[in-house]
Structure 1
Amino acid sequence: MSAQPDTMTLSTQTAAEPRHDRGGKRACIHCGLPFRPTAGREEFCCTGCEYVYHLIRDEGLEKFYDLRDGAGAPALPSVFQPRDYRWLEEMVRAAETEVGRGGKARLVLDLQGISCVGCIWLIEKVFRRTDGASDIRIHSGLGRMELAWVAGSCDVVGFARKLQGFGYLVGPPVKEPRSESSRLVLRMGLCAVFAMNAMLFSLPFYLGMEEDFAFAGLFGWLTFFFATLSLIVGGGYFIRRAVSGLRHGVLHIDLPIALGIVAAYTASVGAWLTGQLGFMYFEFVSTFSFLMIVGRWAQTAAVERNRHRLLGRRLGPPRVEQTGPAGEVREVEVTALKEGDRYRVRPGEPVPLASRLHSSDTTVSMDWISGEAESQPVRRGGLVASGAILLGGEPAELEALEPWSRSLLEKLLNFGEDGPERSPLLERVIKIYLGVVMAVAGAGGAAWWLLAGDIPTAVQVLVSVLVVSCPCVLGVALPLTDEIAISRLRALGIFVRNAFLWTRLRGVRKILFDKTGTLTLETLALDNPEAIDRLADRERTALGQLVAGSRHPVATCLREWVLARQPGLMPGGGAPAREVVGSGLEWRDAEGTVWRLGKADWAAGSEAANDAGVSGTVLGRDGRACAVFRLREQVREDAASEIAALQGEGYPVTILSGDRPEKTRALAAQLGLPADRALGGLSPDEKAAWVDAHAMDEALMVGDGANDSLAFDRALCRGTPAIDRGLLENKADFYFLGKGLGGIRRLLAAGRLRDRVVKVIFVYAVAYNLAAVAVCLAGWMNPLVAAIIMPISSLVSLALVALGLRRLGRQGS
């Protein structure tokens, strides 16, 4: 959810658009992504990239740029934001207590932000520079790292904070340690061994080995043994999934794969027992099982890699602090609270229940829960809505007015279990495919039996048709198509999280956008960055101290600019800054000077403000204005052009926002949308109801906050920008990085291109099966030929995939 101008800013006028260089876009010298230079920011796409770039240079880590593979992701605002590491302090304390002082403590943590080998090198370098560090292992595919250090001698929390400054976030180990792809890797390795051995011991039969040869019987047993292992380890995966799908009434590609493996194995066992060696397809069973597992692994690993790039999130009820009978502070799950119970929420965290404020005045933000941009002051004794984010600098003492089961946040955080994904088109194709194969196999066998009276050949024809018509081409080529498409989209900053996204994209006819944090950026824009540059050293230090720990939208924006200009800036001495609700922030330095940041009449005095014509957020020193900062809501720079392009491609665009209707309509006008396509002031339920009524089975919904959660549940396809406080990554089919919306159109284009490639593969598969079945019906097929043409056909299909997806690669370049 984006932070927007509010009570801290005097003026809410819309500033002029940033000026563009005549030369057009440049590449950011940190992340490498193209951007339009503006006054005060000519080399970097954002303050985050500027900050991280200078930090890397100051730390002597420039080798990172040599190791990086192509353009990376821009630094997220999280590099500047205060972050609670109490959980890590507890984990470190427990790990060190277990081994004792001086022992080697170990910890496993989730890690977010790895995109290349340069990231791994930088993280390892930073850790090894930390006193007391012993060893670090990074699992980039899983998004996890293992740390080892000398207990009592290493600042692990300080290391985590330093990584945050470089753009990498650590979290408790929430991700599944053994993913589906890792389990498939084991199956794949075993099936490779089984297939090679099955081919090795069956080859002598094709090279003319006599049946009375001393080792013929042993070779037959070994071939049977390895084919059986392939059936159990490789085929068993598809058989279980096919049976599970049938129980749910769902047909998918695993069913014909399973039938092909079972048919080939059953026929081979029968042929072996009756001495009909020409009908044995044991090596086919092993090779086919291996190729199918390889294809499934490629498809699964590509999706999991995108899921693991972000920190795992515990999706259960939040925890809050409560004071026990003896005065001790303890953490409890919010489900344990009853109406009237007192609890405490720390700054930056959501208020889980509708509550009454019992501590001093504070400020909350509703943009996460309602999309309303402005923050709101709450006086002592006032009501705080469920889902409001606490922006004040001190914890809030609250009284619960409802149980968790009736709270709005519980409703929005509810992640229901998805049922089995269905593809009606694929199910129809599988039904037709199975019917045709069974009919052709039966007809071919019957013809040889009835017309030629050749029962052995009739059986061979029947079995060979069932075997060679196995969907090998589809089982390998389709997963590889998905893997290549997902990998190339990843290079464009688009991360597919759901393998069924492609099926859903075919049905998209309308596109819905949230406003705050989706069409606009998460942070405000500073229109006069030169005001930061003109500050004297003492003034800049005071500004840094004022905004250091605040989560207020204006303070967040100014903190980014101050640190981007001077990454090593250290706050001054004296007491910490305090919030004056409704006015701004105040800090007294060691010399007794009072510094204020906020409304002009409060920070600089009403008379001085009026005399100077001050308008904006003011930095004041003992009642005198030192600087004026003009901030505005920051629309994504390509939003207007991308929305126009989407509509030109036949996708009507609508804005669904919880922000005020007049602000929503003003943004729509700026983006070239008519007023009737800009719906503001909507509650989460009203957003969901609109999707139900107008676009349930045909909408792509793009949003970023809890207020979009119910609409996400109703939409056909869901996407979200990746932000640090994001909720919807766990519901989304995809997420995207960067400051623009171009990823939406690229994803839709990739979906259309993938569909064309899939059609080509289907045509090739039909042609291959027609030719192979014709050979079978003629009685010319044997196990050796089947084992040879299967991998050849797979290689041809892979070549078709690579050629078909070249355009997607050129998009990336």
Structure 2
Amino acid sequence: MSCCAAGTESAAELEALKSEAPSPEELWLSSRKLDEGLRQVDLIVPGVHCGACIALLERELPRVPGVDHARVNLSTRRVSVVFEDRKEPEPLLAALGEKFNALGYPAHLPGGIDEKGDPAFRELLKALAVAGFASMNVMLLSVSVWSGAEAATRDLFHWISALIAAPALIYSGRIFFVSAWGALRHGRANMDVPISLGVILAYAISLHETITHGAHAYFDASVTLLFFLLAGRTLDHMMREKARSAVRNLVRLSPRGAMLIKDDGSREYLAIDEIEPGMRLAIAPGDRIPVDGRVVSGRSDMDFAVVNGESAPQLVEAGSLTPAGTLNLTGPLVLEATRSAQNSFLAEMVSMMEAAESGRAGYRRIADRASAIYAPVVHLLALGTFIGWMVVSGDWRMAMMTAVAVLIITCPCALGLAVPVVQVIAAGRLFENGIMVKDGSAMERMAQTDHVVFDKTGTLTQGKPRLINSDAVAADHLAIAARIARASRHPLSRALAAFDTAVADLPDFDIVEIPGDGVEARLADGTVYRLGRGAFALEGQGESYERAADASQVILSRNGQFLDVFLFSDQLRRGAAQAVARLLELGVQAEILSGDREAPVRGLAAELGVTEYMAGVRPRGKVDRVQSLSAAGGKPLMVGDGLNDAPALSAAHVSMAPASAADVGRMAADFVFLHDSLEAVPLAIAVSRKAGTLIRQNFALAIIYNCIAVPAAVLGHATPLIAALAMSSSSVLVVLNSLRLRRKTRIESFARPAVDQASDVAVPGAGLGASA
């Protein structure tokens, strides 16, 4: 059960959680700095189980003075709290910890109780087993009563049933009782309050009937009701645990630490959180890379499966970039850390996986609002049913049992499961195919996409161009351009930088990169070299030097005067043509926006069958085009990889970037695909659309269920047992409908090509902009 579903923690476990609560000092050390004077700390809150829990925490935590906002992830039960970066944060953090306990949601840091297995699932299974055993035995005794047992024999069977049901209700029912009491103690109600009332009242009425020698008792209904409720809750827990396991599997790819090589050559083991950029690390064969880094020395085969889905080893050597989580297979390496663990590629993937279900998407908000009004409405409805039946029949037993049935049958479990189960399965499907999604709202927006805007270099093409006129350019010009190009991570820059050699008489440059234009290098004597697009390098006079060939070009100038032109060829990214064809099948139009010249862009568009394209587009122009599509009523998807694409990625209705994109581009994108194939784009659209269809179907199933079940219960046509069976069946039906998303489609059967060079995998980069 999802909606307002409570935890399985016993009182002892809750006290244990409180004892694990971090101190203000631990909270501060575990937090990380954000922009604009803010910090963020992530906490595990095992008591989070439903939309009502999310709404309560996100509403109440910001009321702590100094807390900016809080976001809750239901699948991972992780709460991210953003607070002010103060000089004396202890009072704020102490108040935050007290707030968690006051709300009844003890919290601890990741790696604590929640990471030591799954005690909640074990408790659910044990409670389910006890309830099942009791219900079977009580049902056997009930059959004898129904078969005609009377007087003393009937009373004996009723007393035996009461003795069997009592310990079962106490043991198995505590799952609901503890949660209901915790909610009432903190002045709120959740789904377990009416469930607890229903179970207790069914047993109490049955016990009264037994004591007064009544003909009917409902012990079978009370324990069987509990069995079905626990079965549904266990099913939901299994679904959420499957989603959380993907995140845990990623976390396990990160080692605890690494061996630091000091300046004097000695070695010291450092915990992963202590590793800082610039440190040199010794990586032995069989070790996983702890943080993003660059190989300083050594050669080895590396497993990049976590990055691109390929199991084939790839060679790395000095200069190769190695993302965190990749596995060193054969040789020892010396690695220079380029980023901390908190900012590594692996941490970024974990963060996106955790966020996949936490977005406040439109469908999710609908379900959460419906869940929030559940408790008062169902209690009023049950009370009205009791009063109505008392007035009509005067039979308080009948009125009470009918009210109990209403309490149970109106549980909005199907409604609560309608959205998160689909989003969890959809995020898992995408992750299996190497696509990371930030949150559920991104999937909703992806499903609405009707127009895809592609960047060219690094997106439609592999972004690994070759310099094709090295023999035609002056050697000194090539040396200068290669040295300047080292300052940029744009694909054309990297191709040029490969020609950098140790030329002793080359001066030192003061280099500045201008995204979308190129790189400017100044000498101490005032000489200015520019490398990039013609208009930038030659101060608006570049057109006369640009050639008509279908090749990307970069111009080198000195003080605004032309020196040389460098021509590059690039290859299509794998699956580009198939992606465009499948987008057309989905009814989605594609176009190309590129900063490159007209000739190569036109040739690429013709090769892919794209009729709409624009060349020579600056970053501002990409934003304007995306905004114009939105203003015309379209829902554009922007697919780009460079620093100059980041504004357009943010402006689009939804956005997507390859893992090799610049850091800013990946952060701005809603989806990130980890392999080379562009067929990730139509696949993300197809899965998102299917998810949206299933969510709407789930809503329809939940509404139909309530339209039929609630009137039936109010009119007395459903016993508590039938009510429990109907409620659990509706939840199972929603889950089974959601599982249809697991079926693979033709569009999903693309191959994941191997990446040619390990140094080109998941590499952060900035844009030169000459041919973006």
Query: TM-score band, normalised by the shorter chain?
Result: 0.3 to 0.5
Q: Normalising to structure 2: TM-score of the pair?
A: 0.46
